[in-house]
């Protein structure tokens, strides 16, 4: 039985190192099981720190030698993965020779092998698994790297920066030498040695420099790189135009690898990507895949400035680069969509993107913020930093940046960015440095705003209103409250920008005039809430309005507002803000689904069906928007709104809603399938994608309802599909139905794509996420277990684990939490098996049960022993121990 957990690291304990590194020269002799790494680094005393030894970190290294200025160190102490060396003078040369085994490295952190090639992942703390080094982001050094490998096995040798020279060596080996002209922290180091080919493009930057862009993939994937390359070029242009930021290297490389823990990594000049976010062609990738490739390519590219040129002082500051870079990639995608949609459709296209982003926030971040892992976007402590690449740091972090953008305006924000770069280029800084630059550039006091960085938990915003007919005035009282989270019982009021509109009885927005203002102004304005409660009085109205609050989701809060069915239907039909129109539909669905789950209702209210019909048949609305508005909230979000959470009851309710809307609107859905056909060859374009999304949703409802015409149509569309988006949508509709037609379709799909790893991931995920439409069908856990035996499945490949196990644990609560507890036992088995191979992946799977205390007593009784079993298992990684420890505490 394990008793002690990993030590907790505190943000307040940050101290600069006594010695840093000025330059490092790395030499690799690459061998599958015995790679030799020679590290020669110039260590210098840090003028900003007191006296102390040289500190190096080391993990899973076989150290063959270590010298200081060519001699054995006088005094070297080693404990808990850290080495301390006493040294004299101001500058010394430390030389370390280590041997590592890339083939045995199943953690995919440090140097590892994938399909016979060598790849690295160093963020956050992988570099210490390559060589002994002060492996912290505040140590910024200049790197030169020499790679040696067998030419046949690894014809391509890449590292950061510019290629200095390459050539042959005896015995069929060859070498390449790279130099990165920029200072960088060790987490941005990368090397690749593999059999790859590149799609290349030469482009000219805004200032007229020619740069070489490369996308490196396995030869058979060369026909799937065009979209990634286009996305890279668009990202470059956008950063030049939106922020005046240009690519600073002569060469920029993207490499795709199929074994990768995360989405992608922004290593300087050598981004390494999960294949999932590079490869796309019409026959294998869906519209959503195309969209994801574009946004991840942009995200990693944007890190070159927000992350690499200006980096984080310590890992508590992670949101400094991640929140800001997610915000930038969201803005980029919105601009790309708006441009493609043209002036008419731009607003709707932006709203559709905003809805996507908020859906992710609500489904992933809200539950995190309400559970045992809740943390501020800048955490105060952690046990394992890899557990803090979270929806909070990324997505809520991006919302915090967005609020700054809203409060300061686009120009003010841009001025703040310019000032931030002028102060901090080439440095490792903190979130305070960023917000201070924003404040200074705008002459604003942002001290209270900083609470967003310090406080965890999703704030609740509530509104009370009263209408005074005599004075024709409308008084709105807004109040805020942030619930307690672990370690933070009391919260202070935050700065909350509340964009609002008032809708008149005719459905039109009223021009807004606050008491004391001379004349009415715009129909939407941003009120800034800074107190626990504030009152706003609007005048000059002719009748009692309906408020539309938090337009565009102007703050990452939960709006607690009592709205009855009639008002929700009214806003669904009339709200001028498309985001809030969507949100009204979500709220209405939430009410209906939760009432069904609680047994308060047993069928759909007719008014609800009518409100959906009205949206569905409103031909003036962009199809992409309609697809968003007609899709139900995720179960993950709804479970958060249920107390206690009962996933099985919720699933039954969701089946009733899908079935009811499918049946009642069957003719309309069929009409949509007909009207939304896209002709011509596939192109990734938002207009076409919107039509396909709406058709896919229509097929889902029809098949869920068991409509014979719908099932026949899904089968026909499956067989006649001209691209993966249509083919997969039809297959998904068949699988999410009681029809037996899904069986041959799944088989045909497997047959067709049996040697395509990324497409098989979709096939696994679809089955793991399947609802049980038919009482006689086997439990999904049995299907998942059977699929693990498929030769294409492997516990060593993160994509496979995420597709099959991740989908089952996270996206299929109704089946995962089956009353017999079978899902929970299976979960513990898999977390334990993964822990031994890949702690980061194991911890991500472990997190699927962290909110177990929100579930019904019966489920809690089933889950607790499984959490305890994992905690008691042998050799538990700090990653999993932290998650389970917090869940049980
Ligand atoms: N910085 C990478 C990205 O967002 C993610 C790296 C995650 N690494 C990790 N060990 N969790 O863009
Ligand atoms: Zn990032």
Best residue among 110, 265, 398 to mutate for probing ligand 1's pocket (most ligand atoms within 8 Å of CB) is 265
> Could you tell me the distance, in angstroms and rounded to a whole number, from the CA of residue 300 to the centre of ligand 1?
10
* Residue 3: per-residue pLDDT: 41
Q: Residue 457: helix, strand or coil by DSSP? A: coil
Long-range CB pairs of 735-743 (<8 Å, 24+ gap) are 735/766, 735/767, 735/770, 736/700, 736/703, 736/704, 736/770, 736/771, 736/773, 737/703, 737/704, 737/706, 737/711, 737/773, 738/706, 738/773, 738/774, 739/703, 739/706, 739/711, 741/711, 741/714, 741/715
**Closest-lying ligand 1 atom to the alpha carbon of residue 394:** 4
Query: Is there an atom of ligand 1 within 6 Å of 311 CB?
Result: no
| Residue 5, pLDDT above cutoff 90 | no
| Site of tokens 């731009």 | 346
- Say what the pTM is: 0.98
Query: Is there an atom of ligand 1 within 6 Å of 386 CB?
Result: yes
* Separation CA 120–CA 175 (nearest Å): 18
Beta-strand (E) ranges in 122-234?
141-150, 156-159, 162-168, 173-184, 191-194, 197-204, 210-217
Best residue among 262, 387, 883 to mutate for probing ligand 1's pocket (most ligand atoms within 8 Å of CB) is 262
Percent of the chain with pLDDT over 90: 99
Question: Cα separations (Å) of 333 from 274, 339, 358, 431, 519?
Answer: 20, 10, 14, 25, 37
* Residue 800: per-residue pLDDT: 98
| Residue 704, pLDDT above cutoff 60 | yes
| Residue 770, pLDDT above cutoff 90 | yes
Residues in the chain: 889
Cis peptide bond upstream of 124, omega within 30: yes
Beta-strand (E) ranges in 682-734?
none
Residue 109: pLDDT band (50, 70, 90) is very high
* Residue 508: per-residue pLDDT: 98
Can you tell me the mean pLDDT for 59-84?
Answer: 98
Does the ipTM exceed 0.95?
yes
> Could you tell me the distance, in angstroms and rounded to a whole number, from the CA of residue 386 to the centre of ligand 1?
9
Query: Is there an atom of ligand 1 within 6 Å of 654 CB?
Result: no
Q: Cα–chain-centroid distance for residue 169?
A: 43
Query: Is there an atom of ligand 1 within 6 Å of 265 CB?
Result: yes
Ranking 1-5, 602-606, 701-705 by mean pLDDT, the lowest is 1-5
* Residue 368: per-residue pLDDT: 98
Judged by its nearest atom, the ligand closest to the C-alpha of residue 123 is 1
Domains of the chain, start order: 1-195 (2.60.40.1730), 312-454 (1.10.390.10), 460-555 (2.60.40.1840), 604-888 (1.25.50.10)
Helices (H), 780-856: 780-788, 798-801, 807-811, 813-816, 822-837, 839-846
* Separation CA 335–CA 350 (nearest Å): 7
Query: Is there an atom of ligand 1 within 6 Å of 287 CB?
Result: no
Question: Cα separations (Å) of 507 from 526, 546, 615?
Answer: 20, 9, 15
* Residue 728: per-residue pLDDT: 98
Per-residue tokens: 754 = 């049996």
Residue 489 backbone phi and psi in degrees, to 5: -70, -35
What single string gives the DSSP state of each residue in 266-329?
Answer: --TTEEEEEGGGT---TTT--HHHHHHHHHHHHHHHHTTTBTTTBEESSGGGHHHHHHHHHHHH
pLDDT tens-digit readout, 464-492: 999 999 999 999 999 999 999 999 999 99
Query: Is there an atom of ligand 1 within 6 Å of 262 CB?
Result: yes
Residue 235: pLDDT band (50, 70, 90) is very high
> Could you tell me the distance, in angstroms and rounded to a whole number, from the CA of residue 266 to the centre of ligand 1?
8
Query: Is there an atom of ligand 1 within 6 Å of 622 CB?
Result: no
**Closest-lying ligand 1 atom to the alpha carbon of residue 322:** 4
Cβ atoms within 10 Å, residue 674:
11
Q: Is 79 exposed, middle or buried (0-12, 13-18, 19+ CB in 10 A)?
A: exposed
pLDDT tens-digit readout, 189-222: 999 999 999 999 999 999 999 999 999 999 999 9
* Residue 804: per-residue pLDDT: 99
- Mean pLDDT, the chain, rounded, equals 98
pLDDT tens-digit readout, 503-515: 999 999 999 999 9
Can you tell me the mean pLDDT for 682-711?
Answer: 98
pLDDT tens-digit readout, 579-594: 999 999 999 999 999 9
Active-site pick, 291, 294, 300, 640: 300
Look at ligand 1, atom 1, and give the residue with the nearest C-alpha: 265
Look at ligand 1, atom 2, and give the residue with the nearest C-alpha: 265
Per-residue tokens: 517 = 């203002």
**Is 300 an annotated catalytic residue?**
yes
pLDDT tens-digit readout, 817-871: 999 999 999 999 999 999 999 999 999 999 999 999 999 999 999 999 999 999 9
Cis peptide bond upstream of 661, omega within 30: no
Collect residues with CB below 5 Å from ion ligand 2.
Answer: 322, 325
> Could you tell me the distance, in angstroms and rounded to a whole number, from the CA of residue 576 to the centre of ligand 2?
34
* Residue 774: per-residue pLDDT: 87
* Residue 6: per-residue pLDDT: 78
Judged by its nearest atom, the ligand closest to the C-alpha of residue 385 is 1
| Residue 2, pLDDT above cutoff 60 | no
* Residue 282: per-residue pLDDT: 98
pLDDT tens-digit readout, 416-434: 999 999 999 999 999 999 9
* Residue 1: per-residue pLDDT: 36
| Site of tokens 């870079």 | 325
Query: Is there an atom of ligand 1 within 6 Å of 384 CB?
Result: no
């Amino acid at each position: 039985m394990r008793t002690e957990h990993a030590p907790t690291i505190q943000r307040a304990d940050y101290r600069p190192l006594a010695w840093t590194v000025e330059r490092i020269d790395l030499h690799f002799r690459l061998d599958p099981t015995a790679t030799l790494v020679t590290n020669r680094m110039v260590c210098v005393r840090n003028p900003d720190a007191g006296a102390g030894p040289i500190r190096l970190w080391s993990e899973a290294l076989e150290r063959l030698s270590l010298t200081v200025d060519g001699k054995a160190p006088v005094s070297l102490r080693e404990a808990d993965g850290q080495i301390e060396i006493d040294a004299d003078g101001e500058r010394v040369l430390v030389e370390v020779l280590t041997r590592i085994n890339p083939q045995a490295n199943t953690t995919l952190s440090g140097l590892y092998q994938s399909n016979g090639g060598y790849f690295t992942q160093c963020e956050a703390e992988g570099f210490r698994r390559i060589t002994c080094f002060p492996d912290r982001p505040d140590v910024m050094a200049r790197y030169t790297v020499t790679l040696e490998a067998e030419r046949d096995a690894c014809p391509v040798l890449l590292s950061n920066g510019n290629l200095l020279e390459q050539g042959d060596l005896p015995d069929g080996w060859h070498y390449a030498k790279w130099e990165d002209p920029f200072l960088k922290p060790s987490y941005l180091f990368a090397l690749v040695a593999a059999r790859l080919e590149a799609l290349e493009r030469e482009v000219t930057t805004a200032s007229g420099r020619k740069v070489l862009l490369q996308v490196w993939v396995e030869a058979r994937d060369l026909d799937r790189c065009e979209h990634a390359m286009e996305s890279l070029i668009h990202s470059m242009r956008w950063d030049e135009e939106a922020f005046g930021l240009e690519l600073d290297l002569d060469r920029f490389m993207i490499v795709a690898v199929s074994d990768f823990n995360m989405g992608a990594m922004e290593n300087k000049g050598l981004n390494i990507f999960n294949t999932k976010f590079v490869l796309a062609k019409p026959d294998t990738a869906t519209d959503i895949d195309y969209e994801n490739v574009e946004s991840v390519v942009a995200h990693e590219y944007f890190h070159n400035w927000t992350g690499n040129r200006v980096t984080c002082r310590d890992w508590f500051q992670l949101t400094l680069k991640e929140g800001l870079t997610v915000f930038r990639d969201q803005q980029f995608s919105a601009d790309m969509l708006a441009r493609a949609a043209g002036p008419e459709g731009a607003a709707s296209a932006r709203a559709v993107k905003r809805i996507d982003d908020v859906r992710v926030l609500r489904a992933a971040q809200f539950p995190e913020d309400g559970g045992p892992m809740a943390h501020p976007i800048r955490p105060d402590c952690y046990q394992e930093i890899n557990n803090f690449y979270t929806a909070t740091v990324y997505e809520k972090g991006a919302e915090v940046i967005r609020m700054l953008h809203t409060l300061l305006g686009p120009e003010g924000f841009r001025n703040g960015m310019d000032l931030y770069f002028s102060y901090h280029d080439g440095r490792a800084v903190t979130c305070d440095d960023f917000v201070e630059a924003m404040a200074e550039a705008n002459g604003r006091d942002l001290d209270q705003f900083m609470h967003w960085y310090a406080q965890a938990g999703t704030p609740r915003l509530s509104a009370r209103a009263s209408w005074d007919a005599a004075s024709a005035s409308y008084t709105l009282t807004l109040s805020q409250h942030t619930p307690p989270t672990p370690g933070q019982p009391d919260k202070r009021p935050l700065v909350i920008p509340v964009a609002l509109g008032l809708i008149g009885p005719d459905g039109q927005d009223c021009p807004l005039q606050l008491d004391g203002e001379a004349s009415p102004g715009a129909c939407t304005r941003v009120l800034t809430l800074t107190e626990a409660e504030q009152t706003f009085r609007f005048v000059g109205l002719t009748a009692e309005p309906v408020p539309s609050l938090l337009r565009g989701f102007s703050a990452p809060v939960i709006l607690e507002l009592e709205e009855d069915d009639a008002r929700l239907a009214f806003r669904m039909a009339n709200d001028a803000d498309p985001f809030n129109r969507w949100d009204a539909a979500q709220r209405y669905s939430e009410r209906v689904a939760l009432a069904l789950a609680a047994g308060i209702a047993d069928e759909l209210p007719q008014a609800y069906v009518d409100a959906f019909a009205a949206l569905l048949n409103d031909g003036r609305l962009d199809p992409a928007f309609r697809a968003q508005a007609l899709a139900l909230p995720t179960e993950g979000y709804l479970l958060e709104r249920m107390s206690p959470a009962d996933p099985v009851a919720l699933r039954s309710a969701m089946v009733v809603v899908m079935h009811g809307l499918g049946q009642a609107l069957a003719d309309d859905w069929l009409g949509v399938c007909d009207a939304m056909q896209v002709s011509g060859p596939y192109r990734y374009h938002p207009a076409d994608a919107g039509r396909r999304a709406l058709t896919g949703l229509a097929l889902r409802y029809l098949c869920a309802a068991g409509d014979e015409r719908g099932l026949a149509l899904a089968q026909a569309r499956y067989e006649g599909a001209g691209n993966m988006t249509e083919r997969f949508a039809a297959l998904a509709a068949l699988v999410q139905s009681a029809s037996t037609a899904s069986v041959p379709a799944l088989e045909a799909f497997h047959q067709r794509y049996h040697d395509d790893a990324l497409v098989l991931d979709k096939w696994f995920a679809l089955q793991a996420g399947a609802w049980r439409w038919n009482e006689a069908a086997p439990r999904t856990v049995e299907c998942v277990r059977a699929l693990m035996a498929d030769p294409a499945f492997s516990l060593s490949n993160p994509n496979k684990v995420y597709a099959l196990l991740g989908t089952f644990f996270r996206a299929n609560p109704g089946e995962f939490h089956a009353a017999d507890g079978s899902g929970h036992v299976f979960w513990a088995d898999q977390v334990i098996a993964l822990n031994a191979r890949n702690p980061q992946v194991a911890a991500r799977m472990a997190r699927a049960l962290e909110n177990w205390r929100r579930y019904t007593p019966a489920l809690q009784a089933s889950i607790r022993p499984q959490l305890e079993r994992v905690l008691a298992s042998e050799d538990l990684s700090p990653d999993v121990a932290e998650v389970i420890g917090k869940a049980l505490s």
